[in-house]
């Protein structure tokens, strides 16, 4: 090994550290308009760079997030901009960055790390497990009627992006507070990311639009979207592409989606990153016409098993003893009693045995222990333990992260 990993000490070093992933975006590195917003929300010291002499050949970052988990919130690392230049691939550069990053999370007291994976083959070996699924829909406008038509639960208006934050941020916060998988957004995040509309993020689409639903003198839902206009021999073929839409109550969600589905001069409405329990699946009269497809969503890694499992709630009284194998973070290795009365190491006989990736999968309530059992990702050492564990870990709300970070 003739290279070294260390945290960045300047914005210029961050620029160098993120250049490997930019390489895979087809760019040599981020320009000024790209690096400035990134470093507003990604602290310099949260970016690791790998140096080969005086050149950076790999980089990995971690947003300092507050992540919602069932029944609570926990400090978590949102892993991002991971890349290794093709000149240095498969020599252990990623592995050394993962080592340094997870050690740093542990030192900072972040008991969870999570991410969106570009490839599903990369992160399991570092202890990340698939923790949620997300749904993509593509709805022809003429097949988008609701099962039960209803009057709108308020008044929708278009808001300039520069005025949107005070209207949309409270809605996000109300939804994020009770939805596992969502993180608290700072004002900097709204300005630098969610409400920013630089050309390079449009990918050929139109301007970012913001619609806000108001009722009773306050905002209750919003949608960020782009119109990709198009016509073929006079017939509309364009789409309305939803970037993010949510309401703080079922009526508000129904109303903002009705707005999105009814915009004229578009042939269809497209959205992705929806949670598997998204209301749209049952709001529409023709669910098949959503043309929904599913892919893996968040990947979660428990950095500190005891602290992470203590930070969430459990749905019923009782507990289960789990034998955990964690080769990459051996401090988690061992037997844990997990339940509403607390989470602690124990010497009692284990009832379930699994790799730490399985804990990542069930942590947000997105996958069940029964699913893991059927896939042989967990061994049931005492009959009934899987059912008991599912009763404990159950979450009424599926995990949802509306944004790829
Ligand atoms: C994915 C990437 C970061 C891997 O970096 P790397 O330095 O080549 O990885 P390492 O050499 O440290 O590999 C560590 C292990 O992961 C495996 N691995 C790495 N990338 C893999 C991939 N894309 N698919 C399957 N396995 C992979 C290696 O084979 C190695 O396995 P081992 O532990 O059994 O020896 C690099 O290929 C890359 O930058 N890809 C494009 C950008 C990207 O996908 N980034 C991820 C963003 S979420």
Each domain of the chain, given as residue ranges in start order, spans 4-110, 134-293, 304-393
- Measured in angstroms, how far is the CA atom of residue 63 from the centroid of ligand 1? 21
Instruction: Output the residue whose Cα is nearest ligand 1's atom 23.
Output: 122
| Cβ density class 103-126: b for 16+ within 10 Å, e for less | ebbbeeebbbbbbbbeeeeebbeb
Can you give the pLDDT at residue 203? 83
- Look up the CATH superfamily of 4-110: Gcn5-related N-acetyltransferase (GNAT) (3.40.630.30)
Can you give the pLDDT at residue 2? 84
Q: Give the count of alpha carbons within 13 A of 381, CB side only.
A: 13
- Ligand 1 within 6 A of 25 CB? no
Helix axes 32-41, 11-24, angle to 10 degrees: 110
- Ligand 1 within 6 A of 83 CB? yes
Query: In angstroms, rounded to a whole number, what is the distance separating the alpha carbons of residues 191 and 206?
Result: 19
Can you give the pLDDT at residue 112? 98
Beta-strand runs (E) in 17-166 = 47-52, 55-69, 72-84, 112-116, 129-130, 133-140, 155-158
Domains 4-110 and 304-393 share a fold: no
The Cα-based distances of 164 to 103, 171, 223, 238 in angstroms read 38, 11, 11, 26
- The residues that are catalytic are 123, 405
Q: What residues are paired with 80 via a beta bridge? A: 61
The domain defined by 304-393 folds into Nonspecific Lipid-transfer Protein; Chain A (3.30.1050)
- Measured in angstroms, how far is the CA atom of residue 93 from the centroid of ligand 1? 8
Helix (H, G, I), strand (E, B) or coil at 401: coil
Can you give the pLDDT at residue 312? 98
- Round the CA-based radius of gyration of the chain to a whole number and report it: 22
Q: What residues are paired with 113 via a beta bridge? A: 77, 301
Can you give the pLDDT at residue 204? 82
Ligand 1 probe mutation, 56, 84, 91, most atoms within 8 A of CB: 84
Residuewise pLDDT in 10s, the chain (405 residues):
789 999 999 999 999 999 999 999 999 999 999 999 999 999 999 999 999 999 999 999 999 999 999 999 999 999 999 999 999 999 999 999 999 999 999 999 999 999 999 999 999 999 999 999 999 999 999 999 999 999 989 999 999 999 999 999 999 999 999 999 999 999 999 999 999 999 988 888 899 999 999 999 999 999 999 999 999 999 999 999 999 999 999 999 999 999 999 999 999 999 999 999 999 999 999 999 999 999 999 999 999 999 999 999 999 999 999 999 999 999 999 999 999 999 999 999 999 999 999 999 999 999 999 999 999 999 999 999 999 999 999 999 999 999 999
Identify the CATH number of the domain defined by range 134-293: 3.40.630.30
Query: In angstroms, rounded to a whole number, what is the distance separating the alpha carbons of residues 367 and 243?
Result: 25
- Measured in angstroms, how far is the CA atom of residue 70 from the centroid of ligand 1? 31
Nearest to 298 by CA among 53, 50, 69: 69
Find tokens 């070093």 and name the residue.
Answer: 13
Can you give the pLDDT at residue 245? 98
Query: In angstroms, rounded to a whole number, what is the distance separating the alpha carbons of residues 222 and 213?
Result: 6
DSSP code at position 284: B
The Cα-based distances of 342 to 111, 301, 394 in angstroms read 16, 20, 16
The Cα-based distances of 15 to 30, 115, 118, 240, 297 in angstroms read 7, 20, 20, 33, 27
Instruction: Output the residue whose Cα is nearest ligand 1's atom 28.
Output: 90
Strand order in the sheet with 319-325: 342-345, 334-339, 319-325, 352-355, 378-380
- Measured in angstroms, how far is the CA atom of residue 52 from the centroid of ligand 1? 18
């Amino acid at each position: 090994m003739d290279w070294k990993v260390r945290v960045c000490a300047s914005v210029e070093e961050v620029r160098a550290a993120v250049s490997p992933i930019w390489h895979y975006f087809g760019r040599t590195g981020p320009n000024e308009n790209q690096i400035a917003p990134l470093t507003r929300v990604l602290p310099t010291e949260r970016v690791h760079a790998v140096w080969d002499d005086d050149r950076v050949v790999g980089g990995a970052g971690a947003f300092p997030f507050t992540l919602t988990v069932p029944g609570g919130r926990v400090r978590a690392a949102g892993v991002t901009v991971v890349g290794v230049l093709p000149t240095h691939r498969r020599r252990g550069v990623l592995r050394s960055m993962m080592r340094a990053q997870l050690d740093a999370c542990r030192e900072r007291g972040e008991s969870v790390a999570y991410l969106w994976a570009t490839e599903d083959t990369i992160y399991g070996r570092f202890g990340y497990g698939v923790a949620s699924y997300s749904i993509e829909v593509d709805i022809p406008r003429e097949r988008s009627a609701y099962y039960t038509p209803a009057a709108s639960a308020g008044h929708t208006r278009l808001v300039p992006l520069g005025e949107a934050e005070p209207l949309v941020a409270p809605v996000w916060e109300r939804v994020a507070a009770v939805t596992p998988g969502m993180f608290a957004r700072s004002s900097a995040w709204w300005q630098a990311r969610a409400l920013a509309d630089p050309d390079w993020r449009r990918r050929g689409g139109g301007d970012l639009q913001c619609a806000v639903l108001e009722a009773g003198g306050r905002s209750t839902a919003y949608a960020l979207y782009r119109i990709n206009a198009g016509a073929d021999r006079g017939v509309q073929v364009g789409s309305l592409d939803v970037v993010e839409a949510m309401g703080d109550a079922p009526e508000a969600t129904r109303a903002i989606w009705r707005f999105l589905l009814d915009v004229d001069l578009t042939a269809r409405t497209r959205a992705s990153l929806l949670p598997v329990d998204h209301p749209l699946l049952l709001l529409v009269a023709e669910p098949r016409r959503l043309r929904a497809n599913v892919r893996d969503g968040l990947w979660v890694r428990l950095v500190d098993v005891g602290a992470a499992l203590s930070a969430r709630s459990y749905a019923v009284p009782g507990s289960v003893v789990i034998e955990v194998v964690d080769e990459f973070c051996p401090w988690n290795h061992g037997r844990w009693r997990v339940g509403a009365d607390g989470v602690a190491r124990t010497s009692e006989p284990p009832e379930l045995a699994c790799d730490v990736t399985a804990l990542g999968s069930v942590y947000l309530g997105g996958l069940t222990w029964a699913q893991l059992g059927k896939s042989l990702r967990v061994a049931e050492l005492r009959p009934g333990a899987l059912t008991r564990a599912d009763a404990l870990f159950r979450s009424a709300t599926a995990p949802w992260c509306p944004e790829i970070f």
